[in-house]
Amino acid sequence: MSVRSHTIDHLNRPVRFTVVGRPQQKGSKTSRQYPRPGGGVNVRMIDSNPNAKPWAASVSAAAADAYHEPDLIAGPVLVELVFFFARPKGHWGTGRNADLLRDSAPDHMTTMPDVDKLARCALDALTGVVLRDDAQVVHLDATKAYGTPERAEIVVVRV
């Protein structure tokens, strides 16, 4: 194998990693104004989800562990995100059937959080760690599903 083909194969290898924990969505932003001692005001933007920042830090740390290149990815990428959440207690039977899923339990997770807000938090966490900017994402596949442990499985592929 030539050095050039080795480099190309190396660059096209996907970045894959898992982040264990309950995935968090990027919340809506609100602004708060604080008076400045000399007059005027300071404006501070606050995320409505206080758990988003620690989750994003976990995503960034896992991405840094999985990505071993000296430079950030600069070109277009495809990103696949799968977010897993534990089923609510009401989906399970009771008593001796506690380990069995009820017939009425839904196959798909159609409750909060929104998949687009989950993706926004994860993509922002990849910026500056794997990607130069999340605007590089030209194809995004984001799914939320039931599964344990709660986690996010993330794949970034150069295209």
List, for residues 33-68, the tens digit of each pLDDT value: 778 888 887 877 776 789 999 999 999 999 999 999
Which CATH topology does 13-158 take? 60s Ribosomal Protein L30; Chain: A; (3.30.1330)
Cα 101 from Cα 60, distance rounded (Å) = 34
- Is 6 a residue whose pLDDT tops 90? no
List, for residues 61-99, the tens digit of each pLDDT value: 999 999 999 999 999 999 999 999 999 999 999 999 999
Task: Tell me the pTM.
Answer: 0.84
Sign of the torsion angle spanned by Cα atoms 84, 88, 89, 90 = negative
- pLDDT at site 7: 42
CB 24 within 8 A of CB 116: no
Pairs from 8-13 (Cβ < 8 Å, separation ≥ 24): 11/158, 12/157, 12/158
Tokens of 21: 């924990």
